[in-house]
Amino acid sequence: MKPKETSEHYILSSSPHAHAHSSVRRIMLDVIIALLPTTAAGIFFFGMPVVWTIAACVSTCIVTEALCRMAMKRDNTIGDLSAVVTGLLLALNLPAGIPLWMAVVGSVFAIGVAKQVFGGLGMNPFNPALAARAFMLISFTGPMTTWLKPFWWKTPEAATTATPLATMKTWFAAEATASASPHGLCDSAATGVPCLWDMLTGNMPGCIGEVSAIALAIGAAYLLVRKVITWHIPVAFIATVFVYSLIAGGAPAMMQVLTGGVMIGACFMATDYVTSPTTAKGKLIFGFGCGLICMLIRQFGGYPEGCSFAILIMNSVCPLINRWTQPKPFGSKK
């Protein structure tokens, strides 16, 4: 005789058993909110070209995602805001004033090639925004390495300049023969090297979203409070860059951390759920690898900046890191 079911009977199912009351849309919305401070800083320093670049990237990503899902006869996923985040991140990783058609091409690549070809969100092995940036850097090297000076509209005759990392690489290489060390100076007009305050606030040339360390720190703090990200990857990434700089010499460690894509890469790109490890130990390894490869490229590579390529390389070994660091189930045998 079948026993009568009571409230004491339970349904057994596979994990997960608890729900965090979150969703992809909620997480993506948090990322967008966290990126607002650095977006505002980019608009403040570089003007309306930032607005047009962001609008071009975000709108192209949304349209490309909708068309790709339609072509693959799959559910439309633009409502989860992941395409908006990809477009915004790509725009923030581009120089202000880049031709809009190039931004459109990069956005199509980010969604159509780096994301939807692999099946969409959750299946892409590489961060779509960084993959698109690497593609654009190789395809459009000139415009991708042409930087507007902050408040360029006040002095249009000197609108563009070299990247701060490139300037630092040559300046500090000749530091030993200089009469005085420029480490403590704040004379960017004379040296071409931004001072600490300029690097913190964003008053220096660079990509739209990478110049203001304070704005990026505010956004990262929001994500940590909201528990969208954990501290493991950002701390391991930034600490590795800092310690490597102390050991290798050359540009001061704080300058290596605060210039280029280290801050935005460590807090917003390397922490991508899909392309980063799932375990705490794996995240520390991942962050360490990103920082180490970034500094090796900066010191020995042909590019002054190596953050994007470092994260993409570590994306490729993420499945191995997950396998190595995955905890063994209780009672399992080797």
Q: Is the dihedral of CA 219, 224, 226, 230 positive or negative?
A: positive
* Residue 185 pLDDT greater than 50, yes or no: no
Is 265 found in the same domain as 171?
A: yes
Is residue 151 a part of any domain in this protein? no
pLDDT in tens, 109-124: 999 999 999 988 888 9
Is 119 found in the same domain as 199?
A: no
* Residue 192 pLDDT greater than 90, yes or no: no
Is residue 331 a part of any domain in this protein? no
Q: What angle do CA 257, 88, 61 make, to 5 degrees?
A: 140
pLDDT of residue 259: 86
Is 200 found in the same domain as 76?
A: no
* Residue 330 pLDDT greater than 70, yes or no: no
258 vs 250, residue with greater confidence: 258
CB-CB contact of 298 with 256 (8 Å): yes
- Split at pLDDT 50, 70, 90, the class of 196 is confident
Alpha-carbon gap, residue 85 to 273, rounded angstroms: 13
The mean per-residue pLDDT over the stretch 254-270 comes to: 91
Is residue 304 a part of any domain in this protein? yes
Is 117 found in the same domain as 236?
A: no
pLDDT of residue 184: 45
The mean per-residue pLDDT over the stretch 67-82 comes to: 90
pLDDT of residue 180: 43
Alpha-carbon gap, residue 33 to 39, rounded angstroms: 10
Is 306 found in the same domain as 170?
A: yes
User: Which range has the worst mean pLDDT, 59-68, 163-172, 202-211, 281-290?
Assistant: 163-172
Is residue 152 a part of any domain in this protein? no
Q: What angle do CA 250, 147, 56 make, to 5 degrees?
A: 130
Is residue 273 a part of any domain in this protein? yes
User: Which range has the worst mean pLDDT, 130-134, 185-189, 253-257?
Assistant: 185-189
Is 138 found in the same domain as 166?
A: no
User: Which residues make Cβ contacts (< 8 Å) with residue 167, sequence separation at least 6?
Assistant: 191, 192, 193
152 vs 156, residue with greater confidence: 152
The mean per-residue pLDDT over the stretch 66-93 comes to: 92
Question: How would you classify the pairing of strands 160-161 and 147-148?
Answer: antiparallel
Is 289 found in the same domain as 260?
A: yes
Q: Is the dihedral of CA 102, 103, 105, 110 positive or negative?
A: positive
Is 208 found in the same domain as 140?
A: no
Is residue 12 a part of any domain in this protein? no
Percent of the chain with pLDDT over 90: 56
Is residue 170 a part of any domain in this protein? yes
Is 107 found in the same domain as 72?
A: yes
* Residue 79 pLDDT greater than 60, yes or no: yes
pLDDT of residue 251: 75
Is 298 found in the same domain as 253?
A: yes
Structural domain tally of the chain? 2
pLDDT of residue 122: 86
The mean per-residue pLDDT over the stretch 137-166 comes to: 77
Domain containing 166 equals 159-178+185-324
Q: What angle do CA 36, 40, 44 make, to 5 degrees?
A: 170
Closest CA to 167 of 216, 206, 219: 206
pLDDT of residue 183: 46
Q: What angle do CA 203, 207, 211 make, to 5 degrees?
A: 35
pLDDT of residue 5: 57
pLDDT in tens, 295-328: 999 888 777 688 999 999 999 999 999 999 888 7
Is 131 found in the same domain as 35?
A: yes
Is 249 found in the same domain as 125?
A: no
Is residue 18 a part of any domain in this protein? no
Alpha-carbon gap, residue 205 to 208, rounded angstroms: 9
